[in-house]
Chains A and B, each alone.
Chain A
Amino acid sequence: MSRDRINKILNRIPTHAIIIFMILVWVVPTFGLLVTSLRPSQAINTSGWWTILSPPRGSAEYTEYCAACHGSGGDALPSANLSDPQLVGQFPRSLQLLAALRRDIDGQPHMGDVPLPEVQAAADIAGYLKQLSGIESQPRFTFSNYIDALVGYRGTTTYQQDCAAGTAPLDIKCDASDLLNPRGMGRAFVNSLIVTIPATILPIMFAAFAGYAFAWLDFKGRFLLFAILVGLQVVPLQMTLVPISRLYAQLGLNGTFLGVWLFHTGFGMPYAIYLMRNFLGSLPRDLFESAYLDGASHWTAFYKLVLPLAMPAIASLGIFQFLWVWNDLLVALVFLGGTTPVMTYQISNMVTSLGAGWHLLTASAFLSMLLPMIVFFGLQRYFVRGMLAGAVKG
């Protein structure tokens, strides 16, 4: 390798280092969430997710103090089989364990000339023995958090355990209908879909009409109207919430899907029209002239010519609006609330009022990210294109 090449590679090292550091900052928190959501809740609260691959708590102490005689599996001495739950059950805590260790065996000290473990180490060993003997069996990974989140189970064990033991809370039926429990993420997922699909299609449809008119039809005030529209793009949502929610209260639209569809449509409109008009305006002029010379009406030109050609813009807009509505919290909070909770609402509610454990929060958060992630990684190109064309939306 020539000196130049080596120099070139060395010069690149800081570049790679910065990029990789930033990638780590972006990936690790999300990865931690995913790992945590797959751990049993007890493990989540007693150890960090990064310890997932390290040996279980107490195993190091066990190896140090016990494994020489009892073996790493605990069953090396037939007279004192530590994998036997009945034997281990006699010393559940450090107190009993230390007492047993102080007793002589056949006239010899239990531990020989090895000093007794400290209290903390003894506690860890006692905990580890429970695992070893199967008194407490905790899998390293579990899907039970996801099940609990989907059915809205908030008890102290898991949905499956409670249902098997017949001790489920009153709102849990232990059959498929639990997926529609109003406290669960399953129901919220359905609600999110019901909100998002029309709230994505409606604005795109109206925007296609209006964008066509702004780009290719002549009418009075065309320019002024469009300039106003550009200004409306940045009006904050907060500016319109109060009058609309008062009006909805009178019309009985609070808590209905129709109300949210219409609101999202209204707010998605300025950006959607802006994007559509810019895209359609860039189509070649001859196209329209020849269409009209062939005797096409406005409507035929729109339907047969513009719509098919506008598909890339519609795709960008669709992804944008879909993610916007799916991820929205404020509108859902104000107009839907707890009557028909969507996923974002359900999660924020767990944080603010219920104080649900991390096992539920992490699983719920990941459930809510699933669909956007698929849409994003599948259609990233359209998403980026839409963003570059407009850049302002809110």
Chain B
Amino acid sequence: MAGRSVPNIMRQGKLAPWLYLMPALLIMSFFIVYPMINTVSLSFKNRDGTASAATTCVEGNPCWGVFENYRIALTAEFDTRTFSSFWRTFWVSSYGNTIKWIFLMVSGTVGLGLMFAVLADRVKYEALAKAIIFMPMAVSFVGAGIIWKFVYDYGTQQVQIGLLNAIITSLGGQPTAFLTIPQLNTVALIVVGVWIWTGFCMTILSAALKSVPDEILEAARVDGATEWTIFWRIMVPIILPTITVVVTTMVINVLKLFDIVYVMTGGNFGTNVIANRMYTEMYTNFNVGRGTAVAVVLVIAIIPFIYFNIRRFLAQEEMR
């Protein structure tokens, strides 16, 4: 819009534009801007927001003064006595798990989505196949959580009614409690996330792939390039900007992700993530200060992506 101006004839009255904007601006300031500021200030207060967080320090324990809630938010999950105990507790903490989520889920959704988009392009039942992969996007995380909780079900008796354990036992393996074994359970939850979001990545990447000009691909094939080379040397570089957008979008989605963990394990057995921890501090422990401090940590993790989003928008506007 920087370079783009409105038709001259549309410049009638200074007030009119603001009348159109008013409902949206009012409601956004009230529900997004004001609470963001308030959340930051509450994160320096005590459990009901009435006094400074410094008053919650306990004699004899470490204290970060007014940043006390941040001390809890950042360090409470770790056992810092030795490095190995720290390392062990880190990878079952909400931070360690969120890192696992980001790496596994983003690579899983983007990788599978890209693979499926490329392969489905070559078959006759493309539309149906893509609709099926996309379907979980319509289902709630809660619904998907139930679907997979049932797949992962672990029977303590002889009969396994969970599909996965039934397959394992029929192949002669031992049934596994997928949702309660630390490390394994987070991976099991991430699989659910991948199952839900692959369709999203696939759809966007597929649209980008379709826009790769056929002439280029044909020319490469005539020159004897293998499909593998064409994919890595031609397709991927052309759609790289789209891949970047999908990756950043997925990272943001993962950071905010709450429902899957809440429904499937409630954050227990070492599956907590930052977004669920915020909910627990606020609405289970009723600690306003700590809850908001975790929220601020979350938003700080997201700030680079806000910046990236605006940059991308500015670049798009240049091209218009």
Contacts and interface: CB of A to CB of B under 8 A. Distances in A.
Interface of A: 12, 15-16, 18-19, 22-23, 25-30, 32-33, 36, 44-50, 206-207, 209-210, 212-214, 216-219, 222-223, 225-227, 229-244, 246, 262-263, 265-267, 269-270, 273, 281, 285, 288-289, 292-293, 297-298, 302, 323, 326-330, 333-334, 344, 347-348, 351-352, 358, 361-362, 364-366, 368-369, 372-373, 375-377, 380, 383-384, 387-388, 391-392, 394
A29 B258 CA distance: 21
A302 B204 CA distance: 31
B30 A266 contact: yes
Given A19-B120, A243-B34, A330-B279, A222 B135 contact: no
B119 A236 contact: no
A26 B42 contact: no
Main secondary structure of the interface of B (DSSP, over half): helix
B222 interface: no
Contacts of B34: 243
Most chain-A Cβ atoms within 10 A of its Cβ — which of B49, B138, B294? B138
Interface stretch (B68-76, B82-90, B126-134, B229-237): B126-134
A333 B138 CA distance: 20
A223 B151 contact: no
Nearest to B1: A223
B177 interface: no
Given A217-B17, A362-B146, A48 B160 contact: yes
B310 A238 contact: no
Interface stretch (B8-16, B52-60, B97-105): B8-16
A373 B139 contact: yes
B172 interface: no
Contacts of A285: 7
B255 to A, nearest CB: 7
A368 B28 contact: no
Interface string B102-134: 000000000010011001101100000101111
6 contacts: A50-B166, A235-B299, A246-B49, A285-B7, A329-B259, A384-B134
A25 B195 contact: yes
Interface of B: 1-2, 4-7, 9-14, 16-18, 20-21, 23-25, 27-28, 30-36, 38-39, 42, 49, 112, 115-116, 119-120, 122-123, 129, 131-143, 145-151, 153, 159-163, 166, 195, 200, 203-204, 207, 245-246, 249, 252-253, 255-256, 258-259, 262-264, 266, 275, 278-279, 282-283, 288, 291-292, 294-296, 298-299, 302, 305-307, 309-310, 313-314
Nearest to A33: B147
A242 B292 contact: yes
A308 B258 CA distance: 38
B204 A391 contact: yes
Contacts of A288: 7, 9-10
Given A47-B159, A222-B1, A330-B279, A238 B146 contact: no
Contacts of A235: 32, 36, 299, 302, 306
B140 A239 contact: no
A139 to B, nearest CB: 19
Contact of B28 (A230, A232, A297): A232
10 A-B pairs closest in CB distance: A266-B31, A327-B140, A376-B138, A240-B35, A243-B38, A210-B24, A213-B20, A219-B17, A217-B17, A243-B35
Contacts of B302: 234-236
B298 A239 contact: yes
B98 to A, nearest CB: 12
Contacts of B259: 329-330, 344, 348
Nearest to B191: A25
A365 B147 contact: yes
Nearest to A377: B131
Nearest to B18: A219
A351 B279 contact: no
Contact of B255 (A216, A236, A270, A351): A236
Contacts of A26: 132-133, 135-136, 195
Contacts of A45: 161
Contacts of A392: 249, 252, 309
Contact of A236 (B12, B122, B295): B295
B6 A216 contact: yes
Contacts of B264: 351
A377 B135 CA distance: 8
A292 B151 contact: no
